[in-house]
Amino acid sequence: MTSNPTKTALITGCSDDGIGSALAIAFQNRGYAIFACLRNPKKATALSNLPNVTITTVDVTSPFSIAAIEEVVRIRTDGKLDVLINNAGQTLSAPLLDSDLDAGRKLFEVNFWGAIAMIQAFAPMLVKTKGVVVNISSMGAIVNYPYIGVYASSKAALTLASETLKLELQPLGVRTITLMVGMVKTKIHDNTPEVVLPEHSYYKPVEDKVKGTTVMEGNMVKWQTPVQKFADEVADDVVKGTEGLIYKGGMSSVLRWSKMLFPASMMVGILKTFSRY
């Protein structure tokens, strides 16, 4: 790493063992100064001793929190930012008929509106550097898998907005990447509340199956991409000037083409097939 980085990256959702933390390491290794953002800085121990990494508290649902980090970055970088990565996110598993709507609205505030708010706040700095926005979406945005409807819908909304932003930001010289994430080895499900269906739920007889959406079942684990390998590939794509939709992570390419070739009703069967072998 260079002693005086010439480029900067701000990454949200940088908790240990997650995609954000791995991306921070990947860009730090490539000579970037990093602003690693998360709600609880105590959960960023992997980044705490790295040079040129500033760990800071940011809640992407709070305008005051976003304004505070915007001021910090503007002062320290002379109003410039090269890379903004919107990675902060939440998960939620439940049949749509049983989903807690208040929890769903809060999830959208993080997964969708939080990303848009960050882009609005840092757009002037990105325009100044002709930088890049990276929005972390999910294959769940295009694959109809039961019991993750609220989460998947938030990522579908982000995907559509991100691809629209690509068109709107191009005239300003800013690239946009929409990262369609497949299976990556992280601890994302550790923070997902356990699914407890109401007694009147139509899905009570298959509650174990519903709960299975919050964990990586069976042999599906072997299809996961190690998180640092995933992050290094993403960083290389950003550095070499890629833009638009990028499919990364285990099974992402298979699911992408399966979605194009098969109806939604067959997708769950395809996933189950891969989980057995």
Annotated catalytic residues are: 151, 155
Distances (CA, A) of 263 to 57, 100, 109, 182, 237: 43, 29, 31, 19, 31
Q: Residue written as tokens 């991409």?
A: 225
Give the 3-state secondary structure of residue 32: strand
Residue 277: Cβ within 10 Å count? 7
- Residue position matching structure tokens 């550097």: 129
Report CA dihedral (7, 10, 11, 15) to the nearest 10 degrees: 100
Three-state SS string over 60-108 comes to CCCHHHHHHHHHHHHHHHCCCCCEEEECCCCCCCCCHHHCCHHHHHHHH
Q: Which amino acid is at 43?
A: K
- Count CB neighbours of 82 within 10 A: 22
Q: What Rg value do the Cα atoms of the chain yield, rounded? A: 19
User: What span, in angstroms and rounded, lies between the C-alpha atoms of 150 and 167?
Assistant: 27
